[in-house]
Structure 1
Amino acid sequence: MSAFTDWDILRNLLLAARWTVALSLIAFAGGALVGLLLTFMQISGRVVLVQMTRLYVELFQGTPLLMQLFLVFFGISLFGIDVSPWTAAALALTLFSSAYLTEIWRGCIESIPKGQWEASRCLGLNYVEVMYHIILPQALRIAIAPTVGFSVQIVKGTALASIIGFVELTKAGTMLNNATFEPFKVFGFVALIYFLLCYPLSVASRMLERKLHASG
């Protein structure tokens, strides 16, 4: 008979969920920084930068996140560098999220009518002034909702980090299941916690889309 009470199981899962949240925040922040740089590279108009960015985006969008985790975790060690599961998971999720955020933000910028670019140039504004005063404020309004919505994918993506030994919510659930032999109860709690993490983000995304009238 299991020595774990329901509260013991839930408490341990909540403790592990802290690492899920921490990893999600790091991946989102890192992905946003890299994605912002790549977005400006892609809209720069310079052929070399555009092609490099497209290759990067297609590489990370066209391969499974699980494979990326394996390549980062085992690949870097080939160079004699000891990589912890935490570092490998953070790096892989950062690269993964940056590729998708780049495409989201590029699409938002390019959705601004070309006439606004032309009108701004007619007023004598240079490229930086056009971007800062005209294009980016409108693109930001459009980008907020899909960016918040994509954060749900990052949270769910952290579950794959359990494969390389990172102890987050899913890994903790597996360990507790091995100790209690109650998979329905343990993974039911795991699913509930993921839902409580992701549902507010989904609601916030829909609310922001309606509030900012992004579709219009």
Structure 2
Amino acid sequence: MVEFTLWDILRNLLLAARWTVVLSLIAFVGGGLVGLVLLLLRTLERPWLQRAIAAYVQLFQGTPLLMQLFLAYFGLALFGVETSSWFAASLALTLYTSAFLCEIWHGCVRAVPRGQWEAAQSLALGYMEQMRHVVLPQAMRLAVAPTVGFLVQVIKGTALASVIGFVELTKAGTMITNATFQPFLVYGCVALMYFTLCFPISHYSRVLESKLHVHRH
């Protein structure tokens, strides 16, 4: 058994935590961009397009993230595409995040009173001008708090990337446990680090919700 001091454990976990943060940011930013494109397409008056995007959202919401990670990592290899755990984890989490953000934002857009759409149309504004100047500013007020809150789910979701060999906080914890045989101490530190990452974001989400007067129903 390798002798590890508490500082050794914390230092190695902190080094791995940076990759948890980086992967979370990649998934959130990438998923946000894809989700925004899906949202704009979904609000078009194209029934077939709306159904297709709704099916996309249901697919990623209705299947476990773990399965999506396996498919991204092993599925691409079946088509002769060599991939790394970095790429597979980023791809799976980006698509997963885009589906949820699209649904969150779509609900916020639908919450904008119909009269606002009609007022924008009466001003002869084009579709993109309606979204940019009238609809999205109002929808963003509703969307900020749940969007920030969903980032917590993304951070916790990165833990599943350990199953495809991505060395983030959870994977590092498992590796250190195998070397030290101190699972309670190691996983206690891992849990504390996840809490340190997630609690400020959860708290900030509630503060935003209170400031913007957005209440849960």
Whether TM-score is above 0.5 comes out as: yes
Q: Distance in 2 between matches of 1:34 and 1:25?
A: 14
Please list, as runs of the form range in 1=range in 2, the aligned pairs for 1:1-216 lying within 5 A after superposition.
2-215=2-215
1:44-68 deviations in Å (ceiling 9; x for gaps):
1201211110111011000000000
Give the drift of 1:143.
0.7
Give the drift of 1:133.
1.5
In the alignment, residue 195 of structure 2 is paired with which amino acid?
F
Give the drift of 1:94.
0.3
In the alignment, residue 200 of structure 1 is paired with which amino acid?
P
Give the drift of 1:189.
0.1
Q: Distance in 2 between matches of 1:79 and 1:206?
A: 45
| Identity across matched positions, percent | 64
- Structure 2: unaligned runs, 5 residues or longer: none
Q: Distance in 2 between matches of 1:40 and 1:127?
A: 10
Give the drift of 1:2.
4.5
Q: Distance in 2 between matches of 1:203 and 1:149?
A: 9
TM-score, structure 2 normalization:
0.96
- Structure 1: unaligned runs, 5 residues or longer: none
Q: Distance in 2 between matches of 1:209 and 1:215?
A: 7
Q: Give secondary structure in 2 for the equivalent of 1:193.
A: helix
Q: Distance in 1 between matches of 2:84 and 2:124?
A: 52
In the alignment, residue 209 of structure 2 is paired with which amino acid?
E
Give the drift of 1:215.
3.2
Q: Give secondary structure in 2 for the equivalent of 1:125.
A: coil
TM-score, structure 1 normalization:
0.97
